[in-house]
Structure 1
Amino acid sequence: MSTATPDTRIRVQRDASRARAQLVVGKLAPRLISRTPDRVHVGITAAEMILLDADRVHLDVEVGPGCTLHLEDIGGMVAYPRRRPQEPGPPAEWHVSLRLAEDARLVWEGLPFVIAESADVQRTTSVQMAAGARALIRETLVWGRSGETGGQLRSTTHAYDDAGDILFEDLAADAAAPDPGMLGEHRVMDSLIALGFDPEPAPGDLVLAETGAVARHLGADTHSSPLSGRLAVWRRDMTSSPSS
């Protein structure tokens, strides 16, 4: 995990009149779309051309007690080819820290994260859950732009609460040298991650030992994924299912 200081921050707190939102622009630019006393809708896009060689992006998000944050990607993200792919060098880094206070809610509708040919990316997502918190995260990883093979990615997702780990996943995949049993011929890995509530399951879903589930689709393109429709269903489940 990177120890670099976060360059982009989002803080939201519930308020009697309108929820408060503190948005700090770094390499990413969060923009307020709307807010109510207990809900904030924020769009997030790149503030500059990223991810290039050795770029380090760190987004830090905190959702206050009883508040709901709806994060919406605008434009997706591309990890661009390395300028000198034959020479050794540090990977581009993408780190996300999410902290949910008691009874907080987070919905993150992520757009595709593309690993271009010869790109080298280290990607981490950390989710800290307090009592009663719930999160729903859409994550779409795409190896290669149109006509490309795609680069290499090391991606770690770690969700936890005071009792310990809820989810830990560690993926290493290089489209130029695919490992058996990983992606096969697929170039798209689409995921829905539910934490703190039990969504409506389907065959093939990973039901977590703690409350939550992961739905995943491997395919040749993004538009064939069925998870867009299931996102709406899981958002309903997140709101309507009883507190654990």
Structure 2
Amino acid sequence: MRARAELATDYIQRTDGRGRSRITTLRSESPLMLRPTFPKGPEPWTDGAANVARVCLAAGAAGPVGGDELVLRVDVGRDSTLVLRDVSATLLLPGPGGEQSSTRVTVHVCSGATLVWIPEPVIAAHGCRHRSDIRVDLDPGARLLLREELLLGRHRESPGTVYQHLRVRLDGRPLLNQQLSVGPGAPGWGSPAVTGGRRALGTLLVVDPRWSDDPPPAAALDGDSAVLPLNGPAALVSAVATDNLSLRRSLDVGLDRLTG
């Protein structure tokens, strides 16, 4: 299955003088189904504000299944704010012939705009082979909050193979280039240098122009997690845990430290 989806926002002034973010492009193909939505749980930075554009990504079919190629394009227009979430967790499944599935996401956040992207966990089911590529381009003055969570298999299940690549640029310059390979196709993935035997891995990236002169310091957090300042107005929370609940708690501690 091959599918593409596109999402774009802009910012307009209303007749009463107030501004609001609106969705200008919303195109979907199953299983990448984009749906406008209302606030779904706590939202960093936005606090459920009515002038924010909110979209949920809903699975229109199972997967990704081996052989699927999914492409998502997101453009957050100048001064607009977009909250992008998932309806449910994503389950990576093997294909009938052992093919690799792939997800490619391209994001552009314009100057003065904000993207809060907090998807649900990705679960690497036994036998899957999946590649995820995310590229984010931020203009000067853009804000970004991006959470990623990966669970290595279902309950008492050995995981499939997953390759993740996240690249973020700010004003055309590299800000973060992070790669992760886990599962049977990635030698050494269970070593202390990668997962240390943990089954839940996650990161939280926060880019905030207010930190240009005073970035957050490095800090060890609860459990196996830490805040890592980047070379720019940004910080990365990295965490590993035994299960998704513990992982989410660690990432929430980091979120409170960086956005509270």
Q: Tell me if structure 2 keeps the 8 A contact 1:106–1:136.
A: yes
Query: Which residue does 1:231 correspond to in 2?
Result: 255
Aligned counterparts of 1:38 and 1:102: Cα–Cα separation in 2: 18
Shift of 1:43: 1.4
* Alpha-carbon shift at residue 19 of structure 1 (Å): 2.9
Structure 1 residue 147 displacement after superposition: 1.5
**Could you tell me which residue of structure 2 aligns to residue 156 of structure 1?**
165
| Residue 23 of structure 1: aligned partner | 26
Choose which of 184, 209, 212 in structure 1 pairs with 2:231: 209
Task: Find out whether 1:194 has 2:211 as its counterpart.
Answer: no
The letter of the residue matching 2:235 is A
Q: Secondary structure in 1 aligned to 2:140?
A: coil
After TM superposition, give the deviation of residue 233 of structure 1 in Å.
4.8
Q: Secondary structure at the match of 1:45?
A: strand
TM-score scaled to structure 2, two decimals? 0.80
Percent of aligned pairs with the same amino acid = 24
Q: After TM superposition, which residue ranges in structure 1, 4 or more long, deviate above 6 angstroms?
A: none
Task: Describe the shift of the 1:176–1:160 C-alpha distance in structure 2 as closer, same or farther (beyond 3 A).
Answer: closer
Structure 2 residue identity aligned to 1:29: M
1:8 aligns with 2:5: yes
Q: How many residues align?
A: 228
Give the partner amino acid of 2:255. Answer: L
Once the two structures are TM-superposed, the CA of residue 196 in structure 1 deviates from its matched residue by 3.6
SS at match of 2:244: coil
Q: Secondary structure at the match of 2:13?
A: coil
Give the whole-Å Cα distance in 2 for the aligned partners of 1:200 and 1:129: 19
Partner of 1:240: none
Unaligned runs of 5+ in 1: 237-244
8 Å CA contact 1:41, 1:70 repeated in 2:
yes
Indicate the SS of the match to 1:19: strand
Letter in 1 for 2:243: D
Of 130, 136, 147, which aligns to 2:145? 136
Counterparts in 2 of 1:194 and 1:175: CA distance versus 1, 3 Å: farther
Q: Residue deviations 1:145-182, cap 9 Å, x none?
A: 11111011111000003341010011122257651321
Distance 1:130 1:19, change over 3 A: same
Which range moved further: 124-133 or 158-167?
158-167
Q: CA RMSD in A?
A: 2.2
Task: Give unpaired runs (5+ residues) of structure 2.
Answer: 15-19, 40-48, 221-225
User: In the alignment, what sits opposite 1:146?
Assistant: 155
How far did residue 194 of structure 1 move?
1.1
